[in-house]
Amino acid sequence: MTKLVDAATVFSQDNIVDRFIQVYQSLSANNLEILHDIYAEDIEFIDPVHRISGFENVYRYMETMYKNLHQYQITVLDVVDNQSTAFLDWSLSFIHPRLNRGEWVTIPGATKICFEKKIHYHCDFYDLGAMIYENIPLYGGVTRAIKRRIAK
């Protein structure tokens, strides 16, 4: 007999890194309230496009972002955790109607989080060109050509 266990039971309330992974692997436009479980009110969120301060602002950013995603999957490949800071190596796959003709886009990335009881600093590192520019008609071909030329 298989026993089903509530995910909240599996991930200890004391392990914010496990909770962070769980939240992002299940996050969608329909359950953004679970961000309250991991982020402090004074969260500073940084990615290649934005620098956002405060939980309500981060929440609004996520609302807009997840509203436009048709599907989304993040796979955590490695974690380094030293009790107050963690680094996560991940792969993100998503479908956005305006990118890659609505087909899957996959990019590698990394995240640094700093925390006490909740996360107060979140910084994502990824190749914005690979995420967006390479997947827009016309820009994509130009971006890839520039990358090839630089690599020579």
Residue closest to 39 by CA, chosen among 19, 68, 64: 19
Cβ neighbors of 11 (< 8 A, separation 6 or more) are: 18, 19, 22
Q: Who has greater pLDDT, 76 or 5?
A: 76
Give dist(CA 118, CA 9) in Å, integer: 18
Query: Which residue did the predictor score with more confidence, 20 or 12?
Result: 20
Closest to 83 (Cα-Cα) out of 113, 47, 40, 46: 113
For residue range 55-68, what is the model confidence (pLDDT) as tens digits?
999 999 999 988 87
Percent of the chain at pLDDT exceeding 70:
75
All domains of the chain in start order, with CATH: 7-127 (3.10.450.50)
Question: Would the pLDDT of 129 be above 70?
Answer: no
